[in-house]
């Protein structure tokens, strides 16, 4: 039997009329039983998301000992949402209590979590559904990771026998019982946790776009929509900057093979994008599924004769970077050369120390740094079985007169990453897109 978990993002919660549309969507399908919501997002460009207003509340609380002033626009927003919905719900009392608790708790995560809390209280009221507080059922371990097993059990028992239930996204509690949030956009993860807990047949993620696009629409005009992709392709694309869905949201559903569907609250009949486990994924015939990228990386190039026969060379180099507490993105290597690609933001203030550390650790013949490098990933399961894909990719880049500074093919043959100058980033994405998708 079909059982859907629906997560509605911030733009789907933006005002009362939109929430009325959400109610329609949920009630049009009896299998849409469990709902996870974000805090109200922007209503128009230039508007401020409730979550951002809440971070402002915390700043004011630290300065003045109360968040009263900064809380006023949040209060006004929820009052008007309840009014637009025509609900007989005493939101003022809930808001008074919330504001008081923010002051008492004096915790950034607690403050930030209240947007989702209030949204869920309203939506539960609208649907006449049970409200389940995430702080009672979503748990983090002492080292800050999601405690999946404990959360799945608690959610399953909280929803038992319940026709419909609503849970706020974005937060849970840490090992000391204090409210803790995921990283920004984390309600997507909360939705996946609920989907796993109730063993849903589908996790619907409702946003304001009709699915994933094959590349960034700010770079290519109306790129094609991706009808379906695998969890792995999604990971690659979201890691490289395609941000429709939080990149970590696949982890809870992946083990249980639950597909995710990205849907548009404002065009509910659009098909959306289906994200499938690799074993259920059938390629739509495209060699390339999507192209995504990020700017602002630094490449440390290290050269030393007979590097390949020197035991422990790579380990020593990587230890230097590890000791500086910096994550590495890629490590392309040759017989006598290796490069380390690192986000320039992460390197800030630490580059000198790392270069000196590497010199001391392995005495390279040559070491140099190239900055302002953009990484562009071309992703698709179809690439591994189709002869000539890389030739087409590199030809397209060469024909656009772009110099490639680095190439890394993931060992899964699922992606090819190229490094180019930041200034060639947009041009390179356009060239790859038009080669594989037509212009
Ligand atoms: N409201 C939170 C944010 O703005 C979480 C979410 O929307 O998923 O990041």
pLDDT tens across 260-270, in order?
999 999 999 99
pTM of the model: 0.86
Q: How confident is the model at residue 382 (pLDDT cuts 50, 70, 90)?
A: confident
> Is 396 a residue whose pLDDT tops 70?
yes
Nearest atom within ligand 1 for CA of residue 188: 8
How many Å apart are CA 292 and CA 243, to the nearest integer? 10
How many Å apart are CA 419 and CA 293, to the nearest integer? 10
Q: How confident is the model at residue 350 (pLDDT cuts 50, 70, 90)?
A: very high
Q: How confident is the model at residue 280 (pLDDT cuts 50, 70, 90)?
A: low
The residues, ordered by sequence, that sit 6+ positions from 419 with a Cβ below 8 Å of its Cβ are 297, 299, 341, 373, 374, 375, 376, 404, 405, 406, 407, 408
> How large a percentage of the chain has pLDDT more than 70?
98
Nearest atom within ligand 1 for CA of residue 116: 1
- CB of 187 closer than 6 A to ligand 1? yes
Q: Rounded to 5, what percent of the chain is helix, strand, coil?
A: 45, 20, 35
In 3D space, the residue among 281, 240, 229, 248 whose CA is nearest the CA of residue 416 turns out to be 240
CB 419 within 8 A of CB 381: no
Q: What is the pLDDT of residue 235?
A: 85
Q: What is the dihedral of CA 294, 295, 297, 301, to 10 degrees?
A: 90
10 C-alpha to ligand 1 centroid (Å): 7
- CB of 170 closer than 6 A to ligand 1? yes
> How large a percentage of the chain has pLDDT more than 90?
83
Pairing mode, strands 130-131 and 165-168: parallel
Top-confidence residue, 281 or 230: 230
186 C-alpha to ligand 1 centroid (Å): 6
In 3D space, the residue among 64, 38, 40, 61 whose CA is nearest the CA of residue 50 turns out to be 40
- CB of 223 closer than 6 A to ligand 1? no
Q: How confident is the model at residue 279 (pLDDT cuts 50, 70, 90)?
A: low
> Is 215 a residue whose pLDDT tops 70?
yes
> Is 410 a residue whose pLDDT tops 80?
no
- CB of 364 closer than 6 A to ligand 1? no
Q: What is the pLDDT of residue 439?
A: 66
């Amino acid at each position: 039997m079909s059982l859907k978990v629906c997560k509605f993002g911030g733009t789907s919660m933006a005002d009362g009329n939109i929430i009325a549309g959400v109610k329609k969507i949920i009630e049009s399908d009896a299998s849409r039983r469990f709902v996870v919501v974000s805090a109200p997002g922007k209503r128009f460009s230039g508007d401020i998301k409730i979550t951002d207003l809440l971070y402002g509340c915390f700043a004011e609380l630290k300065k003045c000992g109360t968040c009263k002033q900064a809380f006023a626009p949040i209060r006004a927003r929820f009052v008007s949402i309840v009014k637009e919905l025509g609900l007989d719900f005493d939101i003022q009392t809930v808001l008074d209590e919330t504001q008081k608790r923010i002051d008492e708790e004096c915790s950034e995560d607690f403050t930030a979590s209240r947007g989702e809390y209030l949204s869920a209280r309203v939506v539960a009221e609208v649907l006449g559904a049970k409200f389940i507080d995430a702080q009672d059922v979503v748990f983090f371990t002492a080292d800050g990771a999601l405690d999946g097993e404990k959360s799945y059990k608690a959610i399953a028992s909280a929803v038992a026998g319940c026709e419909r239930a609503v849970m706020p996204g974005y937060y849970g509690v840490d090992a000391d019982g204090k409210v803790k949030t995921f990283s920004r956009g984390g309600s997507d993860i909360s939705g996946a946790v609920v989907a796993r807990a109730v063993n849903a047949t589908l996790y619907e993620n409702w946003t304001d776009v009709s699915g994933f696009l094959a590349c960034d629409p700010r770079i290519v005009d109306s790129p094609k929509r991706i009808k379906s992709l695998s969890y792995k392709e999604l990971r690659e694309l979201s890691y490289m900057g395609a941000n429709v869905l939080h990149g970590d949201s696949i982890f809870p559903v992946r083990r249980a093979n639950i597909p995710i569907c990205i849907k548009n609250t404002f065009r509910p009949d659009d098909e959306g994008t289906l994200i499938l486990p690799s074993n259920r994924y059938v390629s739509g015939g495209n060699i390339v599924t999507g192209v995504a990228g990020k700017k602002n990386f630094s490449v440390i190039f290290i050269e030393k004769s007979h590097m390949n026969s020197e035991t422990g060379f790579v380990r020593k180099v990587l230890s230097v970077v590890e000791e500086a507490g910096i994550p590495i993105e890629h490590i392309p290597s040759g017989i006598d050369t290796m490069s380390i690609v690192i986000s320039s933001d992460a390197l800030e203030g630490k580059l000198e120390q790392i270069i000196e550390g590497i010199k001391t650790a392995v005495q390279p013949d040559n070491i140099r740094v190239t900055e302002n490098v953009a990484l562009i990933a071309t992703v698709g399961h179809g690439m591994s079985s189709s002869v000539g894909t890389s030739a087409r990719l590199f030809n397209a880049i060469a024909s656009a007169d772009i110099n490639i500074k680095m190439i890394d093919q993931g060992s899964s043959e699922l992606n090819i990453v190229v490094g180019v100058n930041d200034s060639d980033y947009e041009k390179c994405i356009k060239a790859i897109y038009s080669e594989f998708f037509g212009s």
